[in-house]
Structure 1
Amino acid sequence: MLTEKQIRALKPREKEYSVSDGRTARGEGVLVLRVRPNGAKEFYYQRRIGEQKSKRKLGNWPALTLTDARDRCRDEKELVAAAGTFQELLDSYLAKLEGEGAASAGNVAWSFRHYVCEPFPGLVKRPASLIGPADIRDIISRMIDNGVTTYCNRVRSQLHAAFQAGLEQEYNPRSYLQVKVRFGLQSNPVASIPVQEDWEQPGDRALSKVELRTLWQLLPEKLSLTTAELLRFLIAAGGQRPEQLLASDRSMYHDDHLVIRSAKGRVLGERQLHVVPFNEPMRQVLHTMAEIDEQSPYPFQGRVLGQPLNVQSLSRAVTKLYQRHEKAFAGPFTLRDLRRTCKTLMASAGLSKELRDRIQGHAFNDVSSKHYDRYDYFEEKRAGLQVWAEWLERNVSK
């Protein structure tokens, strides 16, 4: 084993050379001192992965003492022992979302596959503990270079949540011993990546009554049947969140209502259930979709058999519809603006703000609502959606 005296006595040579701090068990790795021709002496943690050697610099001697270098080497060995990969971290987070019934699980899986796993196949094979801010920066930079704007922040948020879940799994004393895959995370590398705030301006676009009527009449001719019917269903349902609705399979559709798992709150670790009563326009859409395929797992099935329509495809369809018919509208709008449109126009139909909030599944965070009020407001929501359906028939669909 090396000593400080031996290190001090090592002289530079024409070519750099390395001295090991002794042998360790196979696969654990070893502390190595590299002596450069210029006299610099550097500590490395070295281990063999397959047929290749992997080195990780720990610091320079004498600024880093031999004792401290051994401590850091020991830390690196612990990381190797907990070498859960970046891919396994992403898979673990997706499993967590699916276990909670999160409506966003499918969309997050698509994001990880489309923007992380496929473009960076080598990166996701690395231990999650070795993923740094520069790696996350490269992922987001690739998206920006490909013309992606606001969704960069979504992917950043999803990656941040994945690493945060890994940290909680690592340091939760109640569940630590039951964890099969450990990541050895010390911090969240995404925390250093700034949000692109200029792409996060809050929207304020709401379609007028005339514009909503125009959109409604364009739907069946300008979009696929499934996409058009889904948009009509979302509007008739008072502007539900499309990602949550699409994540609801047929088991969530009952005779007179739909059950949605809301991302806005949890009860005993599970996502809150949001009940949406049916009105006549919603029933008509479901009847149309049943005529196409009443056996599919999801009423609004996408191109992939057994999977719902992707919310990104729906969003693109709305944007392209506007682009083809710009002159018919007062300005651009997106899928997200339809929820705001319904919220605004339901006020014109005479619905109170509280009832509109309940129909759209907003969270009520006052103490009374969170801890005491267990009334379901089903009848109130059903009456409100009936009023909304009648308003749509008078002002939009006819």
Structure 2
Amino acid sequence: MLTEKQIRAFKPREKDYVVSDGRSARGEGVLILKVRPNGTKEFYFQRHVDGKKKLAKVGVWPSMSLVEARDSRREQHGKVAAGGTFQNLMDAYVNKLDGESAASVDDVRWSLKHYVSEAFPYLVARPASSIGPGDIRDIIARMIEAGITTYCNRVRSQLHAAFQMGLEQEFNPRSYHQDDVKFGLQSNPVASVPVQDDWERPGERALTVEELATLWQLLPEKLSLTTAVLLQFLIASGGQRPEQLLAVERQQYYKDHLLIRNKKGKDGEKSAHAVPYNKLMRQCLQTMAEISANSAYPFEGKVVGQSLHANSLSRAVTKLYGRHAEKFEGPFTLRDIRRTCKTLMGVVGLSKELRDRIQGHAFSDVSSKHYDRYDYFKEKQRGLARWSTWLEKNAIKSPWTQL
């Protein structure tokens, strides 16, 4: 192997000549030093592609030291050997989540496709190792320019996790040789892009009774039928999580209840959450059945066989407020509707424990986790019936709102 002393001692000749830094593993390429007739000494990364010798200039000695040239050669080799694109990296991350039955997989798949792949097709075709903090910044900046606030942090988090997965693959000696696609990552480019902390404050917004009545009466005329009925169903069901509800296939809607599979359990364990029907929920389901009684999902989106996406629902709520801001006391989002239901069910007289059970919250005390196997179905059924009666009186037949 070369030394700094040897490089200093090399004298120019009439023609260029090269000296190798030593042999490397087959296929990895090698660092060479080229000495020019004028005395210039240049480092090159030499490799063979399809039987032909390829040279890539690394730097000039002594402004680049031998150690720096070797480091650069390793980086160059990583970029050559690792053909995995940015798109390959995101696909691998989604596949990982899918294999783990992660609750977030559908949301991650949709957001990476919508905000990254479709918005930056030229970027996702590049090697993942060439993506830098500036590229990630541009992705998030475009979302912010489009008026997206909190969710831009979600996408940043997803991208950070994807690159972190690629890094772990790169440096885990047990799994490195098991993966066909290599990414050659040296660092996580997302780490340098800051989280927008001011958009991560805990939510406090809950609609008043009058605002909820206004919202309910706006829905049928101001949104598509499926979106409007879905929002009514979410409210009537006590504020279920939209992502979980929309993942429930029609076959999980039984005679007197629907069954939500919560994938947030430890190690992918799925817990079942039964939601009894009340009068308003049945009316919503009947409306959707009249549109299509055979679709895979009761609330089908534009794509046949696929459920409406929670992000589409969220945007619809935000736009609805924007068009009718004068009718409300302030901005609200889809997440605020779940909080509104939780708050107003308390006004109806439902205990906090029952409201938690209706919304599918996990109970972490020892008794609930290990000993209590009672399903509280009857209690939830009575509670949702009271909620439905209250909604009919205060939201559907509201004395406050005349549109």
Place the TM-score, normalised by the shorter chain, in its bin.
Answer: 0.7 to 0.9
- Give the alignment of 1:90-109 within 5 angstroms: 90-109=90-109
Residues 147 and 298 (structure 1 numbering): CA distance in 2 closer, same or farther, change over 3 Å?
same
Q: For each residue in 1:72-100, what CA deviation from the matched residue of structure 2 results, as whole angstroms up to 9, or x when unmatched? A: 63575466545433212211222233344
1:100-148: CA deviations, max 9, x gaps? 4445333322221222223333332333344333332232233334443
Q: Which amino acid aligns with 2:395?
A: V
- In the superposition, the TM-score normalised over structure 1's length comes to 0.82
- 1:380 is displaced (CA, Å) by 3.0
What residue is the counterpart of 1:383 in the other structure? 382
Q: Which of 139-148 and 339-348 deviates more?
A: 139-148
**Would you say the 8 A contact 1:302–1:309 is kept in 2?**
yes
Count of aligned pairs: 394
State the match for 2:327 in structure 1. Answer: 328
For the residues of structure 2 that align with 1:56 and 1:243, how far apart are their CA atoms?
51
Distance in 1, Cα, partners of 2:335 & 2:256: 26
**Alpha-carbon distance in structure 2 between the residues aligned to 1:248 and 1:103:** 12
Q: Letter of the 2:380 partner, please give it.
A: K
Query: Which residue of structure 1 lines up, in the alignment, with residue 400 of structure 2?
Result: none
- Output the CA distance in 1 between the equivalents of 2:11 and 2:147: 53
Q: 2: CA distance between counterparts of 1:337 and 1:18?
A: 69
Q: Retained in 1: the 8 A contact 2:246–2:308? A: yes
Following superposition, the deviation at residue 209 of structure 1 comes to 1.1
Alpha-carbon distance in structure 2 between the residues aligned to 1:140 and 1:392: 40
Equivalence for 1:29: 29
CA spacing shift, 1:186–1:299, aligned 2, 3 Å: same
For the Cα contact (< 8 Å) 2:136–2:190, is it kept in 1? yes
SS of 1:122's equivalent in the other structure is: helix
Q: Is the 8 A contact 1:43 1:61 kept in 2?
A: no
Aligned-partner residue type, residue 95 of structure 1: N
What SS is found at the alignment partner of 1:261?
strand
Give runs of aligned pairs for residues 58-73 of structure 1, distance below 5 A. 61=62, 64-66=65-67, 69-70=69-70, 73=73
Alignment-derived partner of residue 312 in structure 1: 311
Name the CA shift for 1:62/1:331 in 2 (closer, same or farther; >3 Å).
Answer: closer
Task: Name the CA distance, whole Å, in 1 between partners of 2:143 and 2:28.
Answer: 37
- Which residue of the partner structure matches residue 211 of structure 2? 211
Contact 1:45 1:58 in 2 (8 A): no
Q: Is the 8 A contact 1:43 1:60 kept in 2?
A: yes
Structure 1 residues 284 and 366, CA gap change in structure 2 (3 angstroms): same
Q: 1:37, 1:276 → 2: CA distance?
A: 83
Corresponding residue number in structure 2 for 1:269: 268
Q: Distance in 1 between matches of 2:86 and 2:367?
A: 42
When the two chains are superposed, the root-mean-square deviation of aligned CA atoms in Å is 3.8
User: How far did 1:41 drift?
Assistant: 6.3
Cα shift at 1:238: 0.9
Structure 1 pair 81–208 and aligned structure 2 pair: CA distance change class (3 A):
same
For residues 157 and 291 of structure 2, the distance between their equivalents in structure 1, rounded to whole angstroms, comes to 37
Alignment partner of 1:313: what SS? helix
Q: Secondary structure at the match of 2:275?
A: strand
Q: Aligned residue for 2:248?
A: 248
Partner of 1:284: 283
Q: Which residue of 2 aligns with 1:193?
A: 193
Q: Which amino acid in 2 is paired with 1:190?
A: V
Residue range with higher mean Cα deviation, 124-133 or 52-61: 52-61
1:12-27 equivalences in 2 (<5 Å): 21=21
Contact 1:44 1:59 in 2 (8 A): no
| Counterpart in the other structure of 1:300 | 299
Change (3 A) 1:152 1:32: farther
The change in CA–CA distance for 1:43 and 1:324 in structure 2 (over 3 A counts) is same
Cα distance in 2, alignment partners of residues 348 and 268 from structure 1: 37
Q: Is 1:350 matched with 2:349?
A: yes
TM normalised by structure 2 equals 0.81
CA contact (8 A) 2:46 2:53 kept: no
CA contact (8 A) 2:58 2:72 kept: no
For residues 338-381 of structure 1, the C-alpha deviation after alignment (integer angstroms, 9 at most, x for no partner) is 11100100101111212212222223344544455444333332
Q: Which amino acid aligns with 1:224?
A: S
How big is the shift at 1:188? 3.1
Q: Which runs of 5+ in 1 are unaligned?
A: none
The CA deviation string for residues 174-229 of structure 1, in whole angstroms up to 9 with x for no partner, is: 76665444444454332232101122233211111121112112211221111110
Range 202-211 or range 33-42, more displaced: 33-42
| 2:223 corresponds to 1:223 | yes
Paired AA for residue 318 in structure 1: V
Query: Relative to 1, partners in 2 of residues 1:34 and 1:211: Cα closer, same or farther, differing over 3 Å?
Result: farther
Is the Cα–Cα contact under 8 Å of residues 100 and 271 in structure 1 kept in the other structure? no
> Match of 2:401?
none
